[in-house]
């Protein structure tokens, strides 16, 4: 797992990830991303995650000349929803545990919706 650290700039692990990608995949367009489901933006606080992420992006941009795309809060939720829709449309059993869970939940929701429309008698 890659960890970005605003206080000390880019961490050793992230530097290695960026350097590895640039060294071994020079012909590819690379997209570096920071994913976080919850990023708080308090008005008056010593610790401000939104500010820290902005600093991380700035440090990485200056040191490595790459941009970091941040996926957080509503964007993160939207991506999960897209994965859920994808999983619900797939007919084969998905191998990823998360996608498989989404697939089962979506198939169950579809099944329950059909049952409700038929209104089977209750015993």
Domain count, the chain: 2
In a domain, 63, yes or no: yes
Confidence of residue 106 (pLDDT cuts 50, 70, 90): very high
Q: What DSSP character marks residue 43?
A: S
Q: Are residues 58 and 34 in the same domain?
A: yes
Residue 123, pLDDT above cutoff 70: no
Q: The pTM is what? A: 0.75
DSSP element (H, E) containing 35: strand 32-36
Q: Are residues 66 and 99 in the same domain?
A: no
C-alpha separations of 114 from 1, 37, 60, 81, 94 in Å: 41, 32, 50, 21, 23
Q: Are residues 16 and 54 in the same domain?
A: yes
Contact 32, 66 (CB under 8 A): yes
Residue 51 has which token pair? 């500010």
Tokens 């610790």 appear where? Answer: 47
- pLDDT tens sequence across 36-65: 999 988 877 778 888 889 988 998 899 889
Q: Are residues 57 and 89 in the same domain?
A: no
Pairwise CA distance, residues 118 & 115, whole Å: 5
Question: What local confidence, expressed as pLDDT, does residue 56 receive?
Answer: 87
Q: What are phi and psi of 34, to 5 degrees?
A: -120, 115
Which residues, 6 or more positions from 45, have their beta carbon under 8 angstroms from its beta carbon? Answer: none
Confidence of residue 85 (pLDDT cuts 50, 70, 90): very high
Contact 14, 7 (CB under 8 A): no
Question: Containing domain of residue 112, as a range?
Answer: 76-118
Contact 10, 4 (CB under 8 A): yes
Q: What DSSP character marks residue 70?
A: E
In a domain, 110, yes or no: yes
Choose between 121 and 73: higher pLDDT: 73
Specify the 3-state DSSP secondary structure of 99. helix
């Amino acid at each position: 797992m890659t960890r970005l650290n605003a206080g000390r700039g880019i961490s050793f692990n992230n530097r290695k990830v960026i350097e590895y990608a640039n060294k071994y995949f020079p012909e590819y367009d690379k997209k570096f991303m920071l994913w976080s489901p919850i990023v708080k933006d308090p008005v008056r606080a010593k610790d401000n995650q939104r500010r820290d992420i902005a600093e991380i992006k700035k440090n990485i941009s200056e040191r490595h000349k790459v941009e970091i795309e941040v996926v957080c809060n509503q964007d993160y939720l939207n991506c999960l929803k897209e994965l859920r829709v994808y999983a619900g449309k797939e007919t084969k059993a998905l191998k990823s545990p998360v996608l498989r869970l989404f697939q089962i939940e979506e198939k169950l929701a579809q099944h329950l919706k059909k049952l409700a429309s038929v209104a089977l008698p209750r015993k």
